Amino acid sequence: MENSIEKVHCLIIGSGPAGYTAAIYAARANMKPVLYQGIQPGGQLTITTEVENYPGYPEGIQGPEMMVHFEKQAQRMGADIRFGIATKVDFSSKPHKVWIDDNKEIHADAVIISTGASAKWLGLESEQRLNGFGVSACAVCDGFFFRGKDVAIVGAGDTACEEAIYLSKLCNTVHMIVRKGEDGMRASKVMQDRVKMTSNIVIHWHSDTEEVLGKDKVDSVRIKNLSTGASTTIPVSAFFVAIGHQPNSDIFKEFLDMDEAGYITTVPGTSKTNVEGVFAAGDVQDKIYRQAVTAAGSGCMAALDAERYLSAAGLA
């Protein structure tokens, strides 16, 4: 067990585009940032294959490779990047206290939270086996690769409807799998109407996903009608899961304001939380856009906000 307390100027919790960008800007501002990568170093992009919508990569790039570039750039600027998971915090007094892996205690003048969000999955073995090979939790990220193809999407909320409509503009047919009937759909009435009015979206009511099929890539999905018990196999090239995301924010709940879903609330137009000196960036506070480029932008904001806070507090 390590009992010594380490004092740092700027602590960044979590990696991915938000955390690494915050580290780049914080290092350039001579804030000597220490970044702990968290449970998934590099964030959700490490389980993404081709990234074609991030500026500066005209030929596209693999998600894990792009995160290696982010990390190396942050290191070149002087950021101290470490393995480790934040397991407990105490923001009740200054400096802010954060425990890493339950034993190392860090005191930080400023804290930037970039712990991201995790996609909710159905829990199928095939869903995880084919993740990145036709299975995706982000239609906006990956729909482009299935232009002119038949695809399936599972979900019944506004996000699922939005992504189904987005896919309908790229794909031949979009099969939308909804567990309940029309009266049980969680999406707003206007989004439901838009989906129903889109001619190439086929809604499968009262249906559950039994299995995503394919050896090396998705080639079909088997669904079961919960009313009749009949199973149907639908040929598709991709299977999109849109049943929501869970922000990785549990350890902060005692101290930070959050919405009903657990996303950290920030002052509009900033990365500031309700606790002075604590900032949030990326998907842990963004449930709307959830893109690598917007996460990177908010990481930049967080570093600039932190630098201004430290300067005003006489801690710079």
> Could you tell me which of 140, 138, 134, 167 has the C-alpha nearest to residue 236?
134
Start-to-end CA distance of the chain, whole Å, equals: 32
Angle, helices 158-168 vs 189-197, to 10°: value is 30
- DSSP class of residue 272? B
Residues marked active site are found at 138, 141-142
Residues in CB range of 299: below 8 A, 6 or more apart? 17, 18, 19, 20, 21, 22, 23, 25, 112, 114, 281, 282
CA atoms of 174 and 14, how far apart (whole Å): 35
Residues in CB range of 255: below 8 A, 6 or more apart? 89, 90, 91, 92, 275, 278
What tokens appear for 175 in the block?
């099969």
What tokens appear for 71 in the block?
């990390």
